[in-house]
Structure 1
Amino acid sequence: MERSLTLPALILGAGITLGLGFIGHSISDTVTNLKALDRTVSVKGLAEKEVMANIAIWPIRFNEVSNDLPALYDTVQQKSDKVVAFLKQQGFSDEEISLSLPAIEDRTAQGYSDPNLKYRYLAKVTVSLYTPKVDKLLEARKQIAALAREGIAIGGNEYESRPEFMYTELNNIKPAMVQEATQNAREVAEKFAKDSNSSLGKIKNASQGQFIITDRDSNSPHIKNVRIVSTVTYYLSD
C-alpha cells in the first residue's frame, strides 16, 4: 500500500526546490558580474617635454710635439695656462676647470724607428670644463678660434672633443608629466568606450613607464626631449 506524503515532507521538498532555484539564480548573477568585470580596455598615454640641459662637460684637447722632453713639458704648461685663461675670460671659475696630466708618448720606444719621424715625443693634453652655465659654454665654443691665435690647435676627433650636455632636474618635472600621460591615456580610453557604445569605469591597474631623455636633434644636443609612456587599464560597462 502506497504511503501518502505528510505535510512536513511537502514543506521540506518545496524548500529544497526554492533553495536550489535561488542558488542557481545567484550563480547566474555572479557569472554575469564576473563577465562584466572582464570587460576592460588597456591604453597608453604619452607625455613629452623639451628642456634645456643644465650641466655641460667640455673636454678641450690639443697635442704638442718635441724632441726635447723638458722643453715639451714647459710648452704644454704654457699652452694649458692659455686655455685656462681663455675659459676664465668667458666667465668660468677655477672650480669649473680641471687640467689632467698630459699623456706623453715616446714614439721611438716601439722597437723600431720610423725614418720619417720628425719628433720623438708627443704630448696629449685635455683641459676639462664642468659647468651649469650651458649658455656661456655655447657662446665660448664660438670664440674657440681665439686659441688658434695663441698657437693652440684644438685637436681630437669630433666625438672626443664635443661637449656633453645633461639634464639632471628630472624630479622637478616628473609629477606634471605623469599627470599629463595619465590624462592622455584617459582621453584615448574614453574615445574607445564611446566608439564601442560602452561607459568608462574605474582604473583596474596602471603602470608608469620609464622616463627617456634624448637629444632633440644632432645639431642641438643641449636641448633635451623628455618622454614617458604610461599604460592604464580601465573597466568598461554598458
Structure 2
Amino acid sequence: MNEQKCQSSALVLSALALAVAIVAASVILGKAVGEFKAYDRYVSVKGLAEQEFPADSVIWPISFTVTANELPVLQQKIEESELRIQAFLAQHQLEAADKTRSTPRITDHYAYGANPDQRPPHRYSAEAVLTVRSDRIQAVKAAMAASGGLLAQGVMLVYSYDFQPRFDFTRLNEVKPEMIAAATRNAREAANQFAADSGSTVGSIRTARQGVFTIDQRDPYSPEIKVVRVVTSVDFFLEK
C-alpha cells in the first residue's frame, strides 16, 4: 500500500515538473519569437550628402611651339620661349611654383621627300610643355586669363584639349567623417518618414554600408569648385 502511494506521489511530481517545464518553455519560446519578430522589423534607406569645396591644387600645362631651319636655332628659340614664360609666371606671383619642362617633340618637315613647292617655310618645328603645379589657385587663374600676353612676346602657345588645366581637391580624407555623418542623418530622416507611415518609430542602426565618394566639378565654367558626394545605405530597426 505504502509502495503504491509512493509511486503515485512520484507520478504526480513528474507530471508537475513536466507541466512547469512546458510552461517555462512556452514563455521562453514566446519571448524568443517576439525578439525575432522585433529583429525582423527594419527599414532600408539611402542617405545622401553633397557639399561644395574649393580646389586646393592645380596643374597647368603650358604648351608652346617654335620653328627654325637649323637645330641649334630651334633649341635657342625653345629656351627663349621658356624664359619668357618663366618671367610671365613670376609677374603673377608664381615664381615659387613647381615647374617642369617636357622633352621637346621635334618634327622634320623635309624628312619625307615632300614636294619643294609644298614645303613649309621652316624645316623644323618643336613642341614643348612647361607644367606648373601650385596650390595658389587664384594666382594660376589670373595667369591663365592673362596668358594671351605671351603671344605679344613672341611665344606661340598651343591651345588644345590635351593641355587643359586640372583642378584637384586633395583633402577628401579630412571631410569624410563629416560627410558620412551628414549622409547618415539624411538616411534617418528618410527612415522617420517610412516609420511615420507605418505607425512605428526608428530605432538603432541594424547595418550600414558606405558608398563610394565622388568628386566632380560644379559646372564646366567653374572647374575650381568641386562637389563631393557620397550615398550611404542604412538599415534601421523599427520599434512600436
* Same fold flag (TM > 0.5): yes
Aligned residue number for residue 52 of structure 1: 54
Structure 1 residue matching 2:199: 3-state secondary structure = coil
Of 69, 80, 88, 2:90 maps to 88
Root mean square deviation, CA, Å:
1.9
Instruction: Return the letter of the residue paired with 2:80.
Output: Q
Tell me how far 1:95 sits from its aligned partner. 4.3
Of 190, 193, 207, 1:191 maps to 193
Asked whether 1:113 is paired with 2:114, we answer yes
Instruction: Return the letter of the residue paired with 1:47.
Output: A
Deviates further, 72-81 or 202-211: 202-211
Distance, in Å, in 2 between the alignment partners of 1:137 and 1:125 is 20
Structure 2 residue matching 1:168: 3-state secondary structure = coil
Aligned residue number for residue 171 of structure 1: 173
Of 128, 146, 162, 1:125 maps to 128
**Structure 2 vs 1, CA of residues 172 and 66 (structure 1 numbering), >3 Å: closer, same or farther?**
same
Contact 1:84 1:127 in 2 (8 A): no
Aligned counterparts, 1:1-238, within 5 A: 6-110=8-112, 112-115=113-116, 116-118=118-120, 119-157=122-160, 159-238=161-240
Tell me how far 1:94 sits from its aligned partner. 4.3
Distance, in Å, in 2 between the alignment partners of 1:130 and 1:172 is 22
Contact 1:39 1:236 in 2 (8 A): yes
Deviates further, 116-125 or 138-147: 116-125
Q: String of CA shifts for 1:125-149, please: whole Å, max 9, x gaps.
A: 1111111111011111111111111
Contact 2:56 2:168 in 1 (8 A): yes
Tell me how far 1:48 sits from its aligned partner. 1.0
Instruction: Return the letter of the residue paired with 1:105.
Output: T
Structure 2 residue matching 1:6: 3-state secondary structure = helix
Contact 2:66 2:156 in 1 (8 A): no
User: Structure 2 regions of 5+ residues with no counterpart?
Assistant: none
Contact 2:63 2:129 in 1 (8 A): yes
Distance, in Å, in 2 between the alignment partners of 1:7 and 1:222 is 91
Distance, in Å, in 2 between the alignment partners of 1:162 and 1:95 is 18
User: Structure 1 regions of 5+ residues with no counterpart?
Assistant: none
Q: String of CA shifts for 1:93-147, please: whole Å, max 9, x gaps.
A: 244222223221223445x435412232120111111111110111111111111
Deviates further, 3-12 or 137-146: 3-12
